[in-house]
C-alpha cells in the first residue's frame, strides 16, 4: 500500500528554527542566585552585550523608569502565581523604547534545579497599534463633541440673522453642509486620494460655516498670498484651523455677534506664519496650561508641520501665530 507523506521529525534544530521564525527570545532564571541565562535573540532584543553573568538587576537597569518598580514587583510575585503569567513593559535600547512581553509559568510550575524558564516577545508593533487606536478613539470622541457644539452654535448664529422659519432652515442647512465639507478636509474619505489645495481655498471652506455673511466677508476677514498647500499638510493644517475655529465658537470672538476674526499669512523663505487674530469677543482669560485633547491635537499638528504655535492672550482678543516650515507645508 502507498504510504502517506512522512511527518517531520521535531528535534532541537527544528525547534530552534521555529523559535527564530516566531521572534521568540528564551530565558531562564535561577531563583536562588538571581542569575539569568538568555539566548542570542534575547541579548539582541535587550540591546546588551552577551555575558554568562547576567542578573535580574542587570536587566532592570534597562527597563523604562516608569515601568521598573512595577516589573520588579511583578517578577517577585510570579512564584506565587498559579499557572502561566504575562507581563508587558518597556525597555530602553539607546534612545528607543521597545515593548517586551515576558511570559512564563508561576507557582514554581515546571521548575527544574531551582531554575524557571520563559520567553521574551517583542510586542512593540502591537503596543504602537493599540496606542494609535486609543489616540484615534480619543480624537473621534473629541471631534464628535466639537461637531455637536458647533451645530448648536451655528443654530444660534442663524437664528440671529433669519427672519422666518424657512429662511432659518435654508441658512442652517447651508452652514451645516459647509461644515461637512470642512470636516472632509480634516479627515479625507476612505478610497478618495488626497489632493493639495490653495491656502485661501482651504481657509474659505473651513471658515464659511462660521460667518454670518459668508466666507471672505462680514466678520471673518482672510488675507493670504496665493500659496499651495501639499496634500499631507492640507489635512494637518485643516485639523489645526478647525480646532481654533471650534474654540473661538465656544469661548472666543465667534461666540458672539460683535466678534471678528482676521487671518493673515506671512511667508519669508524657509518659514510660513499664519496669524489668527480675534477681536470683540468675551473677556480673554489666559489658559494656565495647554489643556485637553484639543491642546494635544494642536501641538501634534504643529510638530508635523515642523513648527510651533504661539498664543498671545491680549485683552482685545486671542492672537495665535502658527509657525510652519515652508517645505513641510508644500509636502
Give pTM, 2 decimals. Answer: 0.49
Burial class of residue 217 in the structure, from the number of CB atoms within 10 Å of its CB (0-12 exposed, 13-18 middle, 19+ buried): exposed
Domain stop point among 99, 122, 145: 122
| Residue 58 forms part of a structural domain | yes
Residue 6 lies in a domain: no
Q: Looking at the structure, tell me whether residues 202 and 247 fall in a common domain.
A: yes
- Tell me, yes or no, whether 10 lies in a domain: no
Residue at 7 is within a domain: no
Residues 29 and 157 in one domain: no
E strands within the chain? 24-30, 35-38, 54-55, 83-93, 96-106, 115-122, 197-198, 220-223, 228-229, 260-268, 271-279, 308-314, 317-325
| Residues 285-296 pLDDT 10s | 776 555 555 677
Residues 185 and 246 reside in one and the same domain: yes
Question: Which pLDDT value is given to residue 72?
Answer: 84
| Residue 130 in grid coordinates | 493599540
Domain termination residue (choose one: 94, 122, 150): 122
Parent domain of 187: 128-211+218-330
**Grid cell 517531520 in the structure block, residue:** 8
Same domain, 136 and 53: no
Is position 167 within any domain?
yes
pLDDT tens for 243-276 read 788 788 888 888 887 889 999 998 887 889 999 9
| Number of structural domains found in the chain | 2
Give residue 303's pLDDT.
87
Give domain status of residue 97, yes or no.
Answer: yes
Same domain, 148 and 56: no
Q: For residues 237 and 319, what is the distance between their CA atoms, to the nearest angstrom?
A: 17
Beta strands in 75-147 (DSSP E): 83-93, 96-106, 115-122
* Boundary (domain end) residue, out of 69, 100, 122: 122
- Which CATH number covers residue 280? 3.30.565.10
- Residue 270 burial class via C-beta count within 10 angstroms: exposed 0-12, middle 13-18, buried 19 and up: exposed
Do residues 101 and 86 make contact, with C-beta atoms less than 8 angstroms apart?
yes
Do residue 173 and residue 24 come from a single domain?
no
**How much is the pLDDT for 6?**
64
Residue 8 lies in a domain: no
The answer to whether residues 172 and 277 belong to one domain is yes
Residues 204 and 316 in one domain: yes
- Whether 66 and 175 map to the same domain: the answer is no
The closest alpha carbon to 116, from 153, 147, 85, 148, belongs to 85
Q: What is the pLDDT of residue 189?
A: 44
Q: List Cβ neighbours of 246 (8 Å cut-off, separation of 6 or more).
A: 146, 149, 150, 294
What pLDDT does 193 receive?
Answer: 47
CATH code of the domain in which 39 resides: 3.30.450.20
Q: Which of 13, 23, 228, 17 is nearest to 121 (CA)?
A: 23
308 lies in some domain: yes
Measure the CA–CA gap between 317 and 244, rounded to whole angstroms.
13
Indicate if 62 and 99 belong to the same structural domain.
yes
The cell numbers describing 255, all together, are: 461666540
Task: Note whether 60 and 143 are same-domain residues.
Answer: no
pLDDT at 158: 66
- pLDDT below 50 — which residues of the chain? 189, 192-193, 213-216
Are 113 and 156 members of one domain? Answer: no
Q: What is the pLDDT of residue 216?
A: 43
Amino acid at each position: 500500500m502507498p504510504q502517506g507523506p512522512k511527518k517531520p521529525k521535531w528535534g532541537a534544530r527544528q525547534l530552534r528554527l521555529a523559535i527564530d521564525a516566531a521572534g521568540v527570545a528564551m530565558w531562564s532564571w535561577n531563583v536562588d542566585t538571581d542569575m539569568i541565562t538568555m539566548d542570542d535573540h534575547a541579548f539582541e532584543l535587550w540591546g546588551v552585550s552577551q555575558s554568562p553573568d547576567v542578573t535580574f538587576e542587570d536587566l532592570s537597569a534597562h527597563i523604562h523608569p516608569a515601568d521598573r518598580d512595577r516589573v520588579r514587583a511583578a517578577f517577585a510575585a510570579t512564584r506565587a502565581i498559579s499557572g502561566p503569567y504575562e507581563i508587558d513593559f518597556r525597555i530602553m535600547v539607546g534612545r528607543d523604547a521597545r515593548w517586551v512581553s515576558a511570559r512564563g509559568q508561576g507557582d514554581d510550575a515546571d521548575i527544574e534545579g531551582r531554575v524557571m524558564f520563559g520567553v521574551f516577545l517583542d510586542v512593540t508593533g502591537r503596543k504602537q497599534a493599540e496606542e494609535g487606536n486609543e489616540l484615534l478613539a480619543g480624537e473621534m470622541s473629541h471631534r464628535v463633541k466639537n461637531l455637536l457644539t458647533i451645530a448648536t452654535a451655528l443654530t444660534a448664529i442663524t437664528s440671529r440673522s433669519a427672519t422666518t422659519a424657512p429662511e432659518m432652515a435654508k441658512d442652517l442647512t447651508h452652514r451645516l453642509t459647509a461644515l461637512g465639507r470642512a470636516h472632509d478636509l480634516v479627515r479625507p474619505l476612505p478610497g478618495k486620494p488626497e489632493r493639495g489645495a490653495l491656502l485661501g481655498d482651504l481657509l474659505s471652506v473651513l471658515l464659511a460655516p462660521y460667518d454670518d455673511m459668508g466666507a471672505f466677508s462680514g466678520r471673518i476677514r482672510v488675507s493670504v498670498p496665493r500659496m499651495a498647500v501639499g496634500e499631507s499638510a492640507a489635512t494637518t493644517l485643516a485639523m489645526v484651523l478647525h480646532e481654533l475655529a471650534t474654540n473661538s465658537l465656544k469661548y472666543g470672538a465667534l461666540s458672539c455677534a460683535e466678534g471678528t476674526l482676521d487671518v493673515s499669512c506671512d511667508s519669508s523663505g524657509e518659514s510660513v506664519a499664519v496669524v489668527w487674530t480675534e477681536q470683540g469677543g468675551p473677556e480673554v482669560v489666559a489658559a494656565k496650561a495647554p489643556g485637553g485633547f484639543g491642546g494635544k491635537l494642536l501641538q501634534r499638528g504643529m510638530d508635523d508641520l515642523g513648527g510651533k504655535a504661539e498664543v498671545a492672550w491680549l485683552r482685545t482678543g486671542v492672537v495665535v501665530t502658527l509657525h510652519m516650515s515652508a517645505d513641510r507645508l508644500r509636502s
